[in-house]
């Protein structure tokens, strides 16, 4: 097999490598951009709704994960053509579409306008940015030039910063300790872009297998992210499930299963509940003969934000290397583009 630098030169024609490397810089840039934004809809809200699809919605998932123990407000990530009926003028609605032309998200935006809801729009341009400007909605113009799934640093940061600007979040480690977080992420992502690293080692083990991703609710957004990245970057199918829910249904699925060549990837959080750790260990033993098992652990993190983002960055690199091992350019999403053209 060619070395990793040769594979990148041969197959990474659209610089997904640089995009993955840019996660910490995206966070830094976001903090500068937000200083130039103004928010007119500053009031007391009763809930938060993030409308988006694909890579434009994932930032909402990570915010929900980070803030579930900090906020008294609920965060709902809304994927689809319509907003729930309970969304009203007391809801903070964030419309997130990297291109600004995602038809499902445009539909949600138009429903907000019809219901006299003043949303915050996060986009690079397109229909949504133009509409936000015409309707005097608050908006954030995102730097262009990335695949939506490669703009996690922007989508996550802009939502978190919006909540800060609207006084929904006061003090949190993601914003207050950004400089330390960014430096930690820079060191981490650089270490994963080398000829020999843990992400590449894992990719070599799983790229030609059916991958089943398991974790607890402390890393549920990372597990979902991993599955989506394996689909879009690596062009391979996988599944993910969360503990303890896995023990109430999917554990039974292996009795009559006929899938060969399974790779179980366990994403471990050091602060998992003791009972979840126990469940995970027992499940590993029960499934020991069903496939190969691989543990992913992130050590020496500053805090939970740092740990989760490092884990997300790690699985991004794994998906990138899986694509290269399949001799595939990770950037194009030809089936998605074809589907959109047929709608």
d(CA 207, CA 320): 10
Annotation marks residue 180 as catalytic:
no
Q: Residues near 296 by Cβ (< 8 Å), separated by ≥ 6?
A: 202, 265, 266, 267, 268, 311, 314, 315
Given the residues 232, 235, 269, 310, the one annotated as active site: 232
Given the residues 248, 255, 299, 338, the one annotated as active site: 248
Given the residues 2, 292, 297, 340, the one annotated as active site: 340
Q: Which two tokens stand for residue 338?
A: 């074809």
Annotation marks residue 204 as catalytic:
no
Annotation marks residue 31 as catalytic:
no
Contacts of range 267-270, beta carbons closer than 8 Å, 24 or more positions apart: 267/213, 267/214, 267/215, 267/219, 267/222, 267/223, 267/226, 267/296, 267/311, 267/315, 268/215, 268/295, 268/296, 268/297, 269/215, 269/216, 269/218, 269/219, 269/307, 270/297, 270/307
Catalytic positions, written as ranges = 232, 248, 340
């Amino acid at each position: 097999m060619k070395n990793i630098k040769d594979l990148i030169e041969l197959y990474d024609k659209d610089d997904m490598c640089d995009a993955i490397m840019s996660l910490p810089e995206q966070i830094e840039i976001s903090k500068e951009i937000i200083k130039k934004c103004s928010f007119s809809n500053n009031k007391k809200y009763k809930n938060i709704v993030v409308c988006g699809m694909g890579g434009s919605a994932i930032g909402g998932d990570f915010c929900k994960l980070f803030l579930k123990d900090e906020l008294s407000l609920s965060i709902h990530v809304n994927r689809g053509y319509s907003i729930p009926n309970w969304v009203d003028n007391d809801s903070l609605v964030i419309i997130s579409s990297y291109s600004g032309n995602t038809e499902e998200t445009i539909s949600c935006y138009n429903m907000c306008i019809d219901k006299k809801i003043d949303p915050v729009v996060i986009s690079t341009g397109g229909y949504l940015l133009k509409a936000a400007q015409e309707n005097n909605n608050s908006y954030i113009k995102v730097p262009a030039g990335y695949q939506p799934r490669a703009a996690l640093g922007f989508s996550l940061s802009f939502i978190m910063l919006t909540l800060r600007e609207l006084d929904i979040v006061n003090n949190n480690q993601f914003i207050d300790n950004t400089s330390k977080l960014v430096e930690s992420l820079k060191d981490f992502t650089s270490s994963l872009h080398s000829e020999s690293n843990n992400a590449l080692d894992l990719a070599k083990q799983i790229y030609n297998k059916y991958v089943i991703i398991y974790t607890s609710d402390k890393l549920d957004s990372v597990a979902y992210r991993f599955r989506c990245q394996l689909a879009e970057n690596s062009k391979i199918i996988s599944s993910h499930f969360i503990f303890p829910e896995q023990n109430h249904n999917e554990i039974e699925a292996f009795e009559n299963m006929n899938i060969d060549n399974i790779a179980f990837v366990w994403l471990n959080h050091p602060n998992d509940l003791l009972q979840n750790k126990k469940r995970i260990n027992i499940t590993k033993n029960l499934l020991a003969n069903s496939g190969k098992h691989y543990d992913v652990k992130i050590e020496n993190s500053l805090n939970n934000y740092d740990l989760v983002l490092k884990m997300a960055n790690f699985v991004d690199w794994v998906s990138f290397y899986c694509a290269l091992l399949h001799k595939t350019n990770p950037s194009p999403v030809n089936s998605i583009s074809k589907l959109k053209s047929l709608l």
